[in-house]
Amino acid sequence: MAITHAIVHYIEKPAGQEARLSPRQSELPLSPHLEALISKLNATYNNRSGKIYGGFESDEQAFPFAGWLRSHLEEQLDFVALSQKLLERFKAQLEEREEELSGYLMLARMRVLETEQLLVLMLSTTPTVVIDEQLELSDSRHLDVGKVQLGAKINLDEWRKGADGQYVSFLRGRGGKGGGEAFCASLGCTEESDSRVQTQTLLKVFDNYCSEEDLGPGEASQIKQAAYDYCQEQVESGDRVRLKDLSRLIDTTDPDKFFNYAGEQEAGLQAEIPADKRGLQKFVRYAGSMKGLSVSFSDMLLGEQVLYDPATDTLTIRGTPPTLRKQLNRGSD
């Protein structure tokens, strides 16, 4: 990863009140510390589930960020001005909504694996206590690099090419929807594809394929593990899952077999999908819960150590984890 520009601003929007801004007037100095921070934040963003994929709204009068970004790439608008314009627009969008929101708005332009990207994140802080140089305790705030409230990543190379949609990924956040709506409206994001839905569709098509191929339990588990490993690698690098590549992994003797099968299903599955990290677990694990009970186990154990009888809806587990066994034995004393 190579960082070319980075800046951070602070915004505080109390509930039902005007937002207050603390804009930075210059870019952050490039340093190993900054690269390490943005690398961690980028990994956090890539690993977040529930990302939406799309592009920019076509109406640049109503949604001007795309025009500002184009001016920046054409060297007509510097990075500081671009970020401050976005900050002001975010402020205006927040003030149209009641929810409170505070944190640091960070923008970073970077090159990852030969692809130029713009990362836009809303970062939160947590209160903490520090010891200063005089060995006194004082209150401070800690930047939570493991938590991204709101975020977006723009593939600048794809956008420059005039790609149709899905060159922007974004997170709406898990709290009040007002902040997420304001963030997306500030950037002018359009929703084209939901990573959760696409991942669920891929899993369904994949399971149907394995069933129709009449694969043995061991062979099916190996294929699922290979598919999971590939998809996880794509998610961690911030890239899409390509069905052509996945098809080659599944059947080396007929590399287009799964790809053609998926295309015949008419399930709405795209040739390149934004995979959801959490949803991918279903490739290799079975999990479920109900009142007072939670069960999770590896796909490789089904039919061996874990047996399921659909006629009686009974799950039989041969052997138990040592810690669970101790608890059970203690309860029987």
- Reported as a single tens digit per residue, the pLDDT across 253-262 is 888 988 888 8
Element of type H or E holding 225: helix 217-236
The least confident of 99-108, 241-250, 260-269 is 260-269
pLDDT in tens, 149-188: 799 999 999 898 876 667 898 887 765 577 888 999 999 9
Tokens of residue 36, six digits: 């390490």
- C-alpha 97 chain-centroid distance: 25
Helix ranges (DSSP H) in 29-174:
32-47, 65-73, 79-94, 156-160
pLDDT higher than threshold 80 for residue 22: yes
What's the mean pLDDT in 302-322? 87
What does the mean pLDDT of the chain come to?
A: 86
> What is the Cα–Cα distance from 257 to 276, expressed in whole angstroms?
24
Q: Which of 223, 138, 124 is nearest to 173 (CA)?
A: 124
What's the mean pLDDT in 191-208? 82
Query: Can you say whether the dihedral through the CA atoms of 283, 234, 265, 288 is positive or negative?
Result: positive
> What is the Cα–Cα distance from 85 to 67, expressed in whole angstroms?
11
pLDDT higher than threshold 70 for residue 251: yes
How sure is the predictor about 140, in pLDDT bands with cuts at 50, 70 and 90?
A: confident
Work out the angle at residue 254's Cα, subtended by the Cα atoms of residues 303 and 203, and round it to the nearest 5 degrees: 45
Q: How far is CA 24 from CA 42, 171, 225, in A?
A: 21, 24, 47
Say if CB 299 and CB 227 are below 8 A apart. Answer: no
Could you tell me which residue, 77 or 321, shows the higher pLDDT? Answer: 77
pLDDT higher than threshold 90 for residue 80: yes
Query: In the prediction, which pLDDT does 75 show?
Result: 95
pLDDT higher than threshold 70 for residue 332: no
pLDDT in tens, 258-299: 888 888 876 677 888 877 877 888 888 888 888 888 888 888
Query: In the prediction, which pLDDT does 193 show?
Result: 67
Query: In the prediction, which pLDDT does 217 show?
Result: 65
Query: In the prediction, which pLDDT does 165 show?
Result: 63
> What is the Cα–Cα distance from 7 to 23, expressed in whole angstroms?
9
pLDDT higher than threshold 60 for residue 333: no
What's the mean pLDDT in 59-66? 92
Query: In the prediction, which pLDDT does 92 show?
Result: 92
Strands (E) across the chain are located at 2-13, 20-22, 52-56, 101-112, 115-131, 137-155, 168-171, 189-194, 241-242, 272-273, 285-290, 293-298, 306-309, 314-317
The least confident of 22-31, 77-86, 211-220, 254-263 is 211-220
